[in-house]
Every structure is written in structure tokens, then in C-alpha cells.
Amino acid sequence: MIRLSKVWATLVIATVLFVIANAPAQMLKPYLENALNLPLNLNGTIWQGSATSQHFQKVSWQVEPLYLLTGQLSAKIIIIIDDANQINTNANINLAKTLDFSHVNGKLTTKYLQQFSPETPFMFSANININQAEAKWSGDLPPNLPITSKGNILGERVNLLGEKLGSYQLDYTYINKTLEGDITSTDDSSVDTNLKLKISPQNVLTLQGEVLPKSTGLKTIFEELNIAFNPNIKIQLPTF
């Protein structure tokens, strides 16, 4: 009798998991559209599916079911905005509403980012590579800012008013609503760079350090643009 009960319990659990595993992704549509405030087209299942929108080409996910036994939801997420802008990450969320993004990698362009601050002119263009970044939310989930984050960002093919400046990297940490980072030049850069960056909780950006152009032509351009070789900048950034 006990053995029969175990068999029935196993069958019930297997049936429930099968039904959930094959539940259509369309079931998520009202929740996602409400959270993101944009219309979506969903395909696949809750466990492995994708979403498309006029704002991006495709977001796909694959949930790891075994993590449910520990009270967590874990998924691999790939975001394709367009051919030049893509991000992939591992996401974990638990019952305490703590969300972690780990192994965040991807590429973005300054042309894409410009739309989020159209009133702030970008004097340069670049391809931006995100390397092994991570971020954590607690309570207030995205689109709110994370409580902590860190990572490495590499700006490639930096172009300042037609001048090719090479590549530069930013190592950053974000905690207590404060972003701090070091901007340094790489071997192919045209400007020796060593800068300290900070954005305060009041959205005030400070930038200090050295930028030393390697050519006479670049030195002339920096002087014409009033770009100091030893900048000490403090700017109130717009609030998004």
C-alpha cells in the first residue's frame, strides 16, 4: 500500500512538472507587458521561450528546473537588440525577491545608447564590450537600479570628431548608489589615459587624472576643444 502511494505521488509530481514545463510562454504576456510597459509577442514555453518587440529583435530564455527545488528561479537569457547590440547573462531570482545577474557579457554601441540621453551630445563614438559583469537587486527589481554591480567595459574603435583613438577600458564598482571606476588606455590607444571616475548618489560626475595624446595632431585637437591634459571635471548629470 505504501509502495502504491509512492507510485501515485511520483506520477502526480511528474504530471504537474510536465504540465508546467509545457505551459505556453503566452501565459507570461500580461505580467511582462505590465512590468516592461511595452507590447510583446511570445513564443515557446515558460521554460524555454522567446519574446519579440518593436524595441528589440529577440529575447530568449532557458530556465534551469532543478533550481526550483532550492526556492530559486535560474535562467540563461540572451537579448538581441539588433546586429550590433546584444547581451547575454545568467539570472537568478529567489522567493525573497533578490535578483542576481552574473556572467553578463555583450556589446553595445554609443549610437544605440545616445537615444537614452538625446539632449546630451556625444562627442565620440565607440563599440562597447561588456565583460563578466554582475549586478544584484533586492526588493526593488528592474527597471530600478541595482544595489551593487561591478565589471569591466572595453570601448573599442573610439572615434573623437573623426580621429581614431583606439581602445580604452573601464573597471567599475557600484555600491551605495555610487559608481566608481578607473579608465585606462590599452596598447592600441592614441592617448595615454589614467582617469578616476565617480558618480555620486546625487548624480554628480567627477573625473580626474591624465590624458596625454601621443601625436602632435591630437594635442592640437585637444587644445582647440579645451580638453585639459590633467582634467578635474565636475558635472551635474541629467536624471533619467
Quickly tell me which residue has 581602445 as its cell.
167
Instruction: Let me know: does 158 contact 137? Beta carbons within 8 Å.
Output: no
Helix (H), strand (E), coil (C) string for the chain: CHHHHHHHHHHHHHHHHHHHHCCEHHHHHHHHHHHHCCCCEEEEECCEEEEEECCEEEEEEEECHHHHHHCEEEEEEEEEEECCEEEEEEEEEECCCEEEEEEEEEEEEHHHHHHHCCCCCCCEEEEEEEEEEEEEEECCCCCCCCCEEEEEEEEEEEEECCEEEEEEEEEEEEECCEEEEEEEECCCCCEEEEEEEEECCCCEEEEEEEEEECCHHHHHHHHHCCCCCCCEEEEECCCC
- pLDDT tens, position by position, for the chain (240 residues)? 444 444 444 444 444 454 555 567 777 677 676 766 778 888 888 788 898 988 889 999 888 877 766 767 788 999 999 999 999 999 988 867 788 999 999 999 998 988 877 766 677 899 999 999 999 998 777 778 899 999 999 999 999 888 899 999 999 999 999 999 999 999 999 999 999 999 999 999 999 999 999 999 889 988 888 889 999 999 898 776
pLDDT value at residue 63: 84
Give the Cα separation of 126 and 154 in Å (integer). Answer: 10
Please tell me the predicted confidence (pLDDT) of residue 69. 66
Q: Which residues pair with 87 in a beta bridge?
A: 79, 106
What pLDDT does residue 120 have? 65
Q: Sign of the C-alpha dihedral, residues 182, 188, 193, 199?
A: negative
Report the distance separating Cα 226 and Cα 228, nearest Å: 6
| pLDDT (0 to 100) of residue 22 | 59
Strands 48-53 and 232-236: unpaired
pLDDT at 163: 86
What pLDDT was estimated at residue 21? 56
Q: How far is CA 91 from CA 30, 73, 75, 94, in A?
A: 21, 8, 5, 10
> Which residue in the block uniquely carries the three cell numbers 595632431?
217
Predicted local distance difference test score (pLDDT) of residue 20 = 56
Cβ atoms 101, 75 nearer than 8 A: no
Instruction: Parse the chain into domains and list their residue ranges.
Output: 96-236
Give the 3-state DSSP-derived string for 167-193, with helices as H, strands as E and coil as C.
Answer: EEEEEEEEECCEEEEEEEECCCCCEEE
Cα–Cα distance measured from residue 240 to residue 223, given in angstroms and rounded to the nearest whole number: 32
143, 146, 151, 155 alpha-carbon torsion, rounded to 10°: 40
